[in-house]
Amino acid sequence: MNNPQVLEIIENLKGRRNYEEKKASKLGFNSLYAYIENKILNEKEAVEAEILEKSAAKEEAIEEKKSEKKKSCSCC
């Protein structure tokens, strides 16, 4: 329970705290803290995966441009 980001989120839940606690217990988490911590971790992983997909797409586009050979005449 050292993560200040998780503690801040829990403090700001106010009226949604009961809802989030029920959701956490329903999903099998021991505490609201563990649930919020897992939620943050999953969001970070999703962002990292999206960044990797974008960089892979850029690399593929660059490779396609390199593989295209320019023709010296219009008849070929």
Could you tell me the pTM of the whole model? 0.68
pLDDT digits (tens, 9 = 90+) for 8-18: 999 999 999 99
pLDDT digits (tens, 9 = 90+) for 7-55: 999 999 999 999 999 999 999 999 999 999 999 999 999 999 999 888 8
* Domain ranges within the chain, ordered by starting residue: 4-54
Question: Tokens 């029920």 — which residue?
Answer: 22
